[in-house]
Structure 1
């Protein structure tokens, strides 16, 4: 009897331990699905007072929600041209750049020959743009004039990185820091990080430039647990701040040069006036007025403005 009792006690303990593991796994899975860590971080920074000169993203509200960009598919990356007052996006399965207005109306198409996995675009100045090829870890410097409808990467300046060859977790976004004359590039994941690239473009054509690549490690602590991936990046010249977009976390986070977090914009249903969550945010840019533009696959367009300027569409 005593031996059976010991066996029964051991069995009960085993079953309880197993049940506890199941409960724990279920809780962790649920928290992961609900993006609990992203939600906690967002709420913390929404209620925390920030003494900075950045954009007050907590005060932003959606002005245009989920507007289809014609019949385009797989929009990825977004750039605001300060000189033309228009936006540019890339289609990552067609090698196509599309220019459109600030209210999401297409203006022209530019066919890019020689690449089919464009994942990011940034306007530098004048007619110069940089596009990122994720699969082959390449950055192309392109000159796109007002009349351009076709362009080949064979005629472009190329920077190729020794990252994951033919990988699908490489460059997801690129932006231009016009103050320090450098490109800011984000790698999607495994691992995710932010880096700067100087020398691919030199505003003063008379100067000799040497390409230098540097990982910006001040962003690493925030990226370890708060943003599950990086899908895009934009630099805001008026504040000197960086805005990192995460598709999986459904967050746009604002950072200063030191890597300090200065607030966020949540892309979930019920936040900032959204009727539905942004399904797959892939590109972000900010205009001179501080309005935030986001594109989501397959072809959805969003505009967020300070509440006093927002009118829902």
Structure 2
């Protein structure tokens, strides 16, 4: 006996319209717009937040000519400069807060740098995405060459291969740990403790865990995770999504506290931020964004 199922023309049209609407919503990132509107008009949970809705762009899409495929960003509070990495040329670039290059550092022993974070002094951690490695690097203030071939490394068992692994890394000074953003499929935040301050004369005691408190918060509101930065004064995370063109602020319990949209017309932007790959926060809570291949942005609270 054979059974057949046939939709009426009415239901066929309804399904087609629903599919078209869903496709349009995805294309125009309407879910990100909804989250942005919600955070913009919802009262702040407490005063200890960035109040991202008040930020305005002060440097808008400044091209840094010497950069190609810039990815990741960190603020060195001791030098008051920014650092990014070039994943195809294996370089670390240091530049000032106005986007002027201070120096270029050629790096040996890496394959696909996607993130960098300053920890303290001359010590940095580099994220190598393709090899799933965190690399502890000593970068002298005047160095123009860095060999990390024999530097301490930690391989994370995220994915066996591919380029959807961790995209961002940030040092959490409050808890002496590294925070790592897994880009997507699935996306999540994990913490790594015991790597930076490991004593090579003793057995390693490294703790790697997924921070489940953020899973629900980022599951629907951000399509991917491009970068992460931790702000020690507030204890909050700023997560960056390239695909959603959105920055969101979270407290340590995973509660969303605010959002900043990287779309044309929002916060004074003259055009969309095309491919945001790095985020850093300055001492005055200025927010710095690096967008591939070489565009630099600065957002500051409106006075």
TM > 0.5 between the two?
yes
**Cα distance in 2, alignment partners of residues 246 and 198 from structure 1:** 25
**Cα distance in 2, alignment partners of residues 191 and 203 from structure 1:** 29
**Which SS does the other structure have where 1:167 is aligned?**
coil
**Cα distance in 2, alignment partners of residues 208 and 164 from structure 1:** 26
> Pick from 239, 251, 254: which aligns with 1:256?
251
Task: Tell me if 1:113 matches 2:108.
Answer: yes
Equivalent residue for 1:14? 8
- The question of whether the paired residues in 2 share the 8 Å contact of 1:94 and 1:116 is answered with no
**Cα distance in 2, alignment partners of residues 209 and 164 from structure 1:** 23
Task: Tell me if 1:279 matches 2:274.
Answer: yes
Moved over 4 A (4+): 203-209
Structure 1 gaps of 5+ residues are: 1-9, 309-313
Equivalent residue for 1:27? 21
Q: Which has a greater percent of helix?
A: 1
**Cα distance in 2, alignment partners of residues 147 and 32 from structure 1:** 47
| TM-score, reference length from structure 2 | 0.95
Structure 2 matches for 1:67-86, cutoff 5 A? 67-86=62-81
Structure 2 gaps of 5+ residues are: none
> Pick from 231, 235, 242: which aligns with 1:236?
231
**Cα distance in 1, alignment partners of residues 201 and 298 from structure 2:** 39
**Cα distance in 2, alignment partners of residues 238 and 209 from structure 1:** 30
What do the CA deviations read for 1:145-165 (whole angstroms, capped 9, x no partner)?
112111122131100012212
Task: Tell me if 1:53 matches 2:48.
Answer: yes
| TM-score, reference length from structure 1 | 0.92
Task: Tell me if 1:224 matches 2:219.
Answer: yes
**Shift in Å, 1:17:** 2.0
**Shift in Å, 1:205:** 9.2
RMSD: 1.7
**Which SS does the other structure have where 1:214 is aligned?**
strand
**Shift in Å, 1:169:** 0.2
Larger Rg computed on CA atoms: 1
Equivalent residue for 2:301? 306
